[in-house]
C-alpha cells in the first residue's frame, strides 16, 4: 500500500478538511524513510501542534519502530526447541499517549484497510484496534509460552456461541490503558467514544448461552487460569434484525465486511474434517473411516485479556474450506461453474450462519456438520497440544490430568464419540482405555429443561453423515444398558424396561435381545422359560461375556424414527453434570435426569451463572462505578465484588442517594437519545424505565408483558386525565430481542408489541404517561446502553422453565429493581438483594404441573381482566393484523399451540397487581433509590469470577498460572 500512494512524490501535498474547512499536513513514518507522504485527518479538527509533538526532534526511526511480534511462537530452524531466547525480548511497545498515537499512525500506514491518504473515523477504529492488538499479542505470546513451559492442566471450553460484543473498550479497560488511548485519540482529532462506536458487534452468538461463554473467558483470563475457548467463525451470524410495520425482518449480518482487526488468521493451523463415507476394518483390526466428503477447519484466534494481569488467553474459532485442487477447473472451463465450485460452496456454508433452520433434512445435516466441525477440529487441536507438551513421551493415561473439556450445552456432544474415535482408531488404544480417558476428561453443562432444547437427532441422518460415530454411540449405548442391568440385578427388573428406554442414548430403537431376555415383567411381556433361551457362545457383549439371546414375544415395533439423545450421551459420558442456578440444578436432578441422578448422585452439581463485573458495570456504567468507588474507598470491588455489600451501610445516606440518582439519570438521557435515533420516538427521561430484553420466546413471556400494557392502556383510556395521573406512574416500556426466524408465534409477539407501541406512542391523550418501544437488533452493545439506564427489569418466565438467566444479574448489578417469578437465578438474586427489594408474583415451580393438569381437566377460570385484554386486541384497536392464532394459544384446554401451556392467563392477575405496587413504590423517590442501591449491594455473588473459581476447583481441577 505504501508504494501505491505516490512514493515518488518529492513534496507533501496539502489536503483540505471538508468538514472543518481547515488545512493540515501530517508527516508519517515514510517521510523519515525517504518517501514524503501526507496523512489526512478526516472530519476532525487537527491540533496545530500535532506534527511537532508526534514526531519531536529525536530519531524518528527509533521512535516509530515497532518490533514484529509473532502471534504464536514459531519453532527454531536450528534445533526445534523454539525461538532463541535473544529473540524473545518483549516488544518495544510503550503505554504513554504519545507512543500510542505513533503506533496508531503506524498501523494506519502499514496495516491498512482503507485509503492510504485518509484517516477517517473507520480507519481510526481499525488502526486503534490493531494498536491494542499489538499489546494483546505480546501478552498472548507470554501466556502461551508459560503454558507450554509449565504444562499445567488446562481447561477447554467448547461452545457453539460466544457473544463477545465490542472488543475495544473491554481490551483497553482490562489493560488499564483507557485514559492513555483516550488522550492519544484526542490528540489525533477523535474521541475514544466515537471510535468505539465504529466497531460492529462480533456476530458469533445470539443469547445468554453465548454471552455466558464470553463472560467465562474474561474471568478465566482475569483469574490467571490456563484455559482456551473453542467456537465457530460465523460469516453472517444469526441475523440482523430490522423492525418494520410488519414486525421482525431478518437480513444477514455484515460484521465481517470491513474485516475484523482483532482476529489473527492461523492459516498454517488446520485440521481435516470428514463427512459421509463408510467404515471398513483394516488388516490390523482397526476401524477406518474412508471416502466421503473432506474439508479442512482453519483456525482464527481472538486474544482475550484479563483485567489487571498480563494473562491473555485464546478464543480459537474455526472456519471451513477445501484445498485449491478441489476446485474443478475442467468443469469451470466447460461452463459448468456451479459444479466446479461445489466443494468450496459445501465447505463454506458450514460456517455461514449460526443455527441454520433445521426443519428440512438438508438443514439438519448442516447443523450436524457445524457441531461436528467444532468438536473434531477442537479435539484434534487439543490432542496436538497435549502431544506437543508431552515432548514425544506421550502417556495417554495422563490425558485427563492435563486436559479438561467442558461442553457448553449439548451442541458439543459429538466431542464424546470423536475423542473415542481418535483414541481407538487413530491412536490404537483399547476401547476400555479410551472410555476411561473420555469419562475422566469431559463434563457437561445443562442449560435448559425445555424438551425441544434437549437435542435429538435422527439416527438415519447421523448414520449417513457420521457412520463411524454412530457405531461408537451404539456401543456406548449398549455398554450403558449392560451396566444398568448389572447394577439392578439384585432387585429384579419388574417395570424396568420403560426406565431403560427413557435413559438410553438411542430412542425408538429396539433393545438388544440380551437385554430383553433379562427384563421379565408380568405386566409388560410374556415370561420367557428357560427352555426358550439359548446361549450363543460366539456372540459377545461389551465386556466380552457370552450374550444371552432370547426368543420372546415382542411388542409392536414403534414406527417413530430412531433418534440420538445428545443430552443422555452427555450425562452418560461426562464425569460431571451441572445446572446453572440452584432451582435449575434441583429440577435437573429431580425431573430432567432423575433416573441418572438415582444411579450417580455424585455426578450432579450446581454452578450458578455469573457475569463479568468489568463489562457489565465498571466499563458500561462509568458514572455509577465512580459513585461506588467513592463510597467504598477503592476500586477493589471490580475484582472482589463481595465488597459491594458495604454499600448497604450507606443506602439511606442522602448524599449517596443524590449521587446515585444523578448517575442513573445520565444513563437514562443517553438511552433516550439512542431510542430517538433508532426508532424516532421521544421518551421522557423522568419516567420509569421498564425493560425486558432477551430472546423472544413464549416461555420468557414477553406476551404477558405486552398483555399487561394493553390492559393498562385500556384502563387509562377509560379515565379522565386527572384520574390517570393520580393512578399511574409515567412509564416507558422497552423491549428488545430476536425471535428465531422460523418461530412463528415468537414473531407474532414481536408484531403485537410493535403494533401496540405504534398506537400508544401516537395517542395525544396518553402523552408521556406511557410509551412502548421495541429496540431493534438487540445485542451486547445495545445491552450496554439499556442496562445502565434501567430502573425496573422484567424476568417473568413461567416458573421452572428458565435455567438461570444472566441479564437479571446484569440489571441488579446496575441498581435495577427486578419484577419476576421465582425462576432461574431470580431465586438467588431475591435472597441476596432482599425480598423487600424484589417484586415477586406468579405460580411456583412445584405448582406448574398441577396447574397444567387443572387446565387439561377444564377447571381453569380466566380472570375477567385477562379476557378484557384479549378482547381489546381482537377489537382491532391496534390495527388490522389478525391475532387469532396468537391469542388462540391462550385458549382451549390442551393441544399443540393451545391450552396456555406457559400459564400466561394464570399469572396475569398477579402480574398486573404487582405492577400496581411498582407504580406506588416509584413515587417514593427515597425508598426507590434505597432499593436500587441495595440491588447493587446484593449482586456481588453473581460475578462470573465466582462461578469460574467453582468450575476450576470442583470440576476441572485447574490452578492459576499468572504470567510474571
Which sequence positions are flagged as catalytic? 447, 694-695, 700, 806, 810
Q: Rounded distance, CA 403 to CA 928, Å?
A: 49
Instruction: Give the helix/strand (H/E) hosting 914.
Output: helix 904-923
Give yes or no for a contact between 40 and 15, defined as CB atoms under 8 angstroms apart: yes
Give yes or no for a contact between 295 and 304, defined as CB atoms under 8 angstroms apart: no
CA dihedral 826→832→836→837, nearest 10 degrees, is -70
Q: Can you read off the three cell numbers belonging to residue 474?
A: 451404539
Q: Can you read off the three cell numbers belonging to residue 428?
A: 490404537
The full DSSP string for 939-953 is -GGGBHHHHHHHHII
Residues ≥6 apart with Cβ < 8 Å to 728: 712, 716, 769, 770, 919
Q: Can you read off the three cell numbers belonging to residue 933?
A: 442501591
Alpha carbon 149 to its chain centroid, in Å, reads 31
Measure Cα distances from 189 to 17, 48, 141 in Å: 12, 11, 32
Q: Can you read off the three cell numbers belonging to residue 413?
A: 456432544
CA nearest neighbour of 91 among 120, 108, 70, 75: 70
| Residue 550 backbone zone (phi > 0: left; psi -120 to 50: alpha; other: beta) | beta
Long-range contacts for 191-198 (Cβ within 8 Å, ≥24 apart)? Answer: 194/121, 195/121, 195/124, 195/125, 195/128, 195/168, 196/125, 196/166, 196/168, 196/169, 198/121, 198/122, 198/124, 198/125
Instruction: Give the helix/strand (H/E) hosting 304.
Output: strand 293-305
Vertex 444 angle, CA 743 and 505, to 5°: 75
Give yes or no for a contact between 377 and 232, defined as CB atoms under 8 angstroms apart: no
Q: Do strands 15-17 and 456-458 pair parallel, antiparallel, or not at all (unpaired)? A: unpaired
CA dihedral 564→568→573→574, nearest 10 degrees, is 140
Instruction: Identify any residues that bridge with 775 across adjacent strands, giving them in sequence order.
Output: 736
Measure Cα distances from 782 to 321, 620, 621, 693, 932 in Å: 33, 11, 13, 10, 22
Q: Can you read off the three cell numbers belonging to residue 252?
A: 444477514
Vertex 728 angle, CA 724 and 729, to 5°: 130
The number of helices, as runs of H, and strands, as runs of E, in the chain is 38, 26
Q: Rounded distance, CA 408 to CA 911, Å?
A: 33
Alpha carbon 807 to its chain centroid, in Å, reads 12
Classify residue 491 by burial, with Cβ atoms within 10 Å: 0-12, 13-18, 19+.
exposed
Q: Rounded distance, CA 184 to CA 428, Å?
A: 57
Classify residue 63 by burial, with Cβ atoms within 10 Å: 0-12, 13-18, 19+.
middle
| Residue 568 backbone zone (phi > 0: left; psi -120 to 50: alpha; other: beta) | alpha
Per the listing, cell 459491594 goes with 644
Give yes or no for a contact between 215 and 612, defined as CB atoms under 8 angstroms apart: yes
Q: Can you read off the three cell numbers belonging to residue 712?
A: 393498562
Amino acid at each position: 500500500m505504501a508504494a501505491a500512494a505516490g512514493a515518488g512524490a518529492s513534496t507533501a501535498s496539502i489536503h483540505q478538511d471538508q468538514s472543518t474547512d481547515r488545512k493540515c499536513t501530517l508527516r508519517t513514518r515514510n517521510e523519515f524513510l525517504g518517501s514524503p507522504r501526507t496523512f489526512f485527518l478526516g472530519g476532525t479538527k487537527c491540533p496545530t501542534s500535532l506534527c511537532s509533538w508526534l514526531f519531536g526532534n529525536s530519531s524518528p526511526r527509533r521512535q516509530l519502530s515497532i518490533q514484529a511480534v509473532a502471534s504464536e511462537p514459531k519453532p527454531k530452524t536450528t534445533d526445534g526447541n523454539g525461538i532463541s531466547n535473544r529473540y524473545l525480548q518483549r516488544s518495544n511497545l510503550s503505554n504513554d499517549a504519545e507512543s500510542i498515537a505513533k503506533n496508531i499512525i503506524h498501523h494506519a500506514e502499514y496495516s491498512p484497510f482503507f485509503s492510504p491518504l485518509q484517516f477517517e473515523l473507520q480507519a481510526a477504529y481499525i488502526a486503534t484496534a490493531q494498536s491494542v492488538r499489538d499489546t494483546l499479542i505480546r501478552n498472548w505470546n507470554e501466556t502461551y509460552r508459560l503454558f507450554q513451559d509449565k504444562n499445567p492442566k488446562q481447561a477447554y471450553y467448547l461452545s457453539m456461541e460466544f457473544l463477545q460484543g465490542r472488543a475495544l473498550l473491554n481490551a483497553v479497560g482490562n489493560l488499564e490503558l483507557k485514559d492513555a488511548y483516550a488522550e492519544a485519540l484526542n490528540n489525533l482529532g477523535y474521541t475514544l467514544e466515537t471510535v468505539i462506536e465504529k466497531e460492529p458487534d462480533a456476530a458469533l452468538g445470539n443469547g445468554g448461552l453465548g454471552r455466558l461463554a464470553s463472560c467465562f473467558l474474561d474471568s478465566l483470563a482475569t483469574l490467571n487460569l490456563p484455559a482456551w475457548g473453542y467456537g465457530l467463525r460465523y460469516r453472517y451470524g444469526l441475523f440482523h434484525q430490522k423492525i418494520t410495520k410488519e414486525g421482525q425482518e431478518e437480513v444477514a449480518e455484515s460484521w465481517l465486511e470491513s474485516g475484523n482487526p482483532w482476529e489473527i488468521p492461523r492459516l498454517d493451523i488446520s485440521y481435516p474434517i470428514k463427512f459421509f463415507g463408510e467404515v471398513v476394518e483394516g488388516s490390523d483390526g482397526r476401524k477406518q473411516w474412508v471416502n466421503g466428503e473432506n474439508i479442512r477447519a482453519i483456525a482464527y484466534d481472538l486474544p482475550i485479556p484479563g483485567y489487571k494481569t498480563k494473562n491473555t488467553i485464546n478464543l480459537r474459532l474455526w472456519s471451513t474450506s477445501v484445498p485449491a485442487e478441489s476446485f474443478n477447473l475442467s468443469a469451470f472451463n466447460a461452463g459448468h461453474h456451479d459444479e466446479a465450485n461445489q466443494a468450496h460452496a459445501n465447505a463454506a456454508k458450514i460456517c455461514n450462519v449460526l443455527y441454520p433452520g433445521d426443519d428440512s433434512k438438508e438443514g439438519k445435516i448442516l447443523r450436524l456438520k457445524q457441531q461436528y466441525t467444532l468438536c473434531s477440529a477442537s479435539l484434534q487441536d487439543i490432542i496436538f497440544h497435549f502431544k506437543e507438551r508431552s515432548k514425544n513421551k506421550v502417556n495417554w493415561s495422563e490425558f485427563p490430568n492435563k486436559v479438561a473439556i467442558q461442553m457448553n450445552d449439548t451442541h458439543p456432544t459429538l466431542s464424546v464419540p470423536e475423542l473415542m474415535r481418535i483414541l481407538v482408531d487413530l491412536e490404537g488404544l483399547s476401547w476400555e482405555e479410551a472410555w476411561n480417558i473420555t469419562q475422566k476428561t469431559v463434563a457437561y453443562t445443562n442449560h435448559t429443561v425445555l424438551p425441544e432444547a434437549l437435542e435429538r437427532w435422527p439416527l438415519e441422518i447421523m448414520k449417513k453423515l457420521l457412520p463411524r460415530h454412530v457405531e461408537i454411540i451404539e456401543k456406548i449405548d449398549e455398554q450403558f444398558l449392560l451396566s444398568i442391568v448389572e447394577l439392578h440385578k439384585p432387585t429384579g427388573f419388574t417395570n424396568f424396561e420403560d426406565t431403560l428406554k427413557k435413559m438410553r442414548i438411542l430412542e425408538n430403537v429396539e433393545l438388544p435381545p440380551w437385554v430383553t431376555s433379562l427384563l421379565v415383567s408380568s405386566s409388560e411381556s410374556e415370561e420367557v422359560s428357560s427352555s426358550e433361551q439359548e446361549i450363543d457362545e460366539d456372540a459377545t457383549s461389551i465386556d466380552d461375556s457370552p450374550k444371552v439371546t432370547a426368543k420372546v414375544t415382542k411388542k409392536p415395533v414403534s414406527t417413530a424414527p430412531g433418534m440420538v439423545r445428545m443430552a443422555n450421551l452427555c450425562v452418560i459420558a461426562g464425569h460431571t453434570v451441572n445446572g446453572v442456578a440452584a432451582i435449575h440444578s434441583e429440577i435437573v436432578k429431580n425431573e430432567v435426569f432423575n433416573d441418572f441422578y438415582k444411579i450417580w448422585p455424585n455426578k450432579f452439581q450446581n454452578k450458578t451463572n455469573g457475569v463479568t463485573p468489568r463489562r457489565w458495570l465498571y466499563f458500561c456504567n462509568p458514572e455509577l462505578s465512580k459513585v461506588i468507588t467513592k463510597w467504598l474507598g477503592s476500586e477493589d470491588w471490580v475484582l472482589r465484588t463481595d465488597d459491594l455489600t458495604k454499600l448497604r451501610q450507606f443506602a439511606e445516606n442522602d448524599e449517596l442517594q443524590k449521587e446515585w440518582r444523578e448517575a442513573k439519570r445520565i444513563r437514562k438521557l443517553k438511552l433516550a437519545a439512542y431510542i430517538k435515533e433508532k426508532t424516532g420516538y421521544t421518551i421522557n427521561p423522568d419516567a420509569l424505565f421498564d425493560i425486558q430484553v432477551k430472546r423472544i420466546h413464549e416461555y420468557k413471556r414477553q406476551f404477558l408483558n405486552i398483555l399487561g400494557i394493553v390492559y393498562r392502556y385500556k384502563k387509562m383510556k377509560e379515565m379522565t386525565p386527572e384520574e390517570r395521573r393520580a393512578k399511574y406512574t409515567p412509564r416507558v416500556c422497552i423491549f428488545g430481542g430476536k425471535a428465531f426466524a422460523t418461530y412463528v408465534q415468537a414473531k407474532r409477539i414481536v408484531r403485537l408489541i410493535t403494533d401496540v407501541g405504534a398506537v400508544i406512542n401516537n395517542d395525544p391523550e396518553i402523552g408521556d404517561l406511557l410509551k412502548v418501544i421495541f429496540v431493534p437488533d438487540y445485542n451486547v452493545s445495545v445491552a450496554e446502553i439499556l442496562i445502565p439506564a434501567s430502573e425496573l427489569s422484567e424476568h417473568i418466565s413461567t416458573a421452572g422453565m428458565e435455567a438461570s438467566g444472566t441479564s437479571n444479574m446484569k440489571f441488579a448489578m446496575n441498581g435495577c429493581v427486578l419484577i419476576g417469578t421465582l425462576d432461574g437465578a431470580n431465586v438467588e438474586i431475591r435472597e441476596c438483594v432482599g425480598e423487600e427489594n424484589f417484586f415477586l408474583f406468579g405460580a411456583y415451580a412445584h405448582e406448574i404441573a398441577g396447574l397444567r393438569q387443572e387446565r387439561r381437566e377444564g377447571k381453569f377460570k380466566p380472570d375477567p381482566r385477562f379476557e378484557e385484554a384479549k378482547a381489546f386486541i381482537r377489537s382491532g384497536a391496534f390495527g388490522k393484523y389478525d391475532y387469532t392464532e396468537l391469542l388462540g394459544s391462550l385458549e382451549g384446554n390442551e393441544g399443540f399451540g393451545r391450552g396456555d401451556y406457559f400459564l400466561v392467563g394464570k399469572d396475569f392477575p398477579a402480574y398486573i397487581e404487582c405492577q400496581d405496587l411498582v407504580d406506588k413504590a416509584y413515587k417514593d423517590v427515597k425508598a426507590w433509590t434505597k432499593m436500587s442501591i441495595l440491588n447493587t449491594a446484593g449482586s456481588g455473588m453473581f460475578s462470573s469470577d465466582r462461578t469460574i473459581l467453582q468450575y476450576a476447583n470442583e470440576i476441572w481441577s485447574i490452578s492459576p498460572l499468572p504470567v510474571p
